[in-house]
Amino acid sequence: MGKIILIASGKGGTGKSVVTSNLGAVLAMDGHSVVLIDMDMGMRNLDLYMGLENKAVYNVCDVLNGVCRIKQALIKDKRFDSLYLMAASPEKLCENVTPLHMKVLCDKLRERFEYIIIDAPAGIDDGLVLASAGADIAVIVTVPEFAAVRDAQTVSAVLSRIGIDKRMYLLNNVKANLLGNGVFPSVAEIDEMLKLKAAGIIQADENIHIAANSGLPVVFKRDTYIHKNFKKIAYRIIKETAQQKD
């Protein structure tokens, strides 16, 4: 049965969509079957980052509303046969849809895919509650700023209340020379604030930024330090999904 991985954050712009696209890509490059679901309704980006922006006829909201079948909303990646995207709705409101609908969708997708990676909207609103309905694990993406880490704490608490016991954090956009310099927190301080297992650290790198804006997950270029790092992160997350609950 497939695993559902939620990618969330408190603050916007921490890198959730970049992380979602690259985790999906590294897993597909290893031959796993993966579907990415963009749950950031009205603010969709994942289709752009995957270079699939003109391919969406139906979106996840159409599936949840019963307007189309799951198959009709699955957009196949151009490069990997086992990688699919389900785009977000261009409208903010996904009307008449409840977390139960999302859970049912996740359970159906588990039968067909090994990994279902969900790109959540930033924040702790209803959009997060909907996106997280079927999740086995949440990866909270933060940047090394006190404000972002505090918002990550809040998201972690909300996800805990929802019942997602497996939560990790991922530190993105790191400029090593600024960590713990008195203005920005150190990794030890972030660990202490979040009290979550770390999935890894991703450096601020303009290649990541350029690749995302070119519609190409940066990991498609194999054997770079970025590819190796995303791969390690992906397998740390997967290992955690396989652990029994305490």
**Chain residues that interact with ligand ATP, rule: CB under 6 A:** 9, 12-18, 40, 45, 122, 172-173, 202, 204-205, 208-209, 212
- AA letter at 38: D
Question: In the complex with Mg ion, which residue's Cβ is closer, 122 or 133?
Answer: 122
**Nearest-approach distance from CB 115 to ligand ATP, in angstroms:** 18
Strand 115-119 to 34-38 pairing: parallel
**Which C-beta is closer to ligand ATP: that of 22 or that of 82?**
22
Q: State the minimum distance, in angstroms, from the CB of residue 73 to ligand ATP.
A: 20
Q: Which is nearer to Mg ion, 87 or 228 (CB)?
A: 87
| Cβ–Cβ < 8 Å for 93, 135 | no
Tell me if 17 contacts Mg ion by CB under 5 A.
yes
Supply the minimum distance, in Å, between the C-beta of residue 10 and Mg ion: 13
204, interface contact from ligand ATP, Mg ion, none, CB < 5-8 Å by kind: ligand ATP
Query: Which one of 41-49, 97-105, 210-218, 228-236 is the stretch in contact with Mg ion (CB under 5 A)?
Result: 41-49
Burial 120-144 (b: 16+ CB within 10 A, else e): bbbbbeebbbbbbbbbbbbbbbbbb
Q: Which is nearer to ligand ATP, 165 or 224 (CB)?
A: 224
CA–CA separation, 217 vs 47, rounded Å?
A: 11
Least distance from C-beta 5 to ligand ATP, angstroms?
15
| Type of residue at 100 | L
**Residue 14 is a binding residue for Mg ion (CB under 5 A):** no
Pick from 14, 45, 59, 132 the residue near Mg ion by CB under 5 A: 45
Residues 203-222 that bind Mg ion (CB under 5 A): none
> Which spans of this chain sit near Mg ion (rule: CB under 5 A)?
16-17, 45
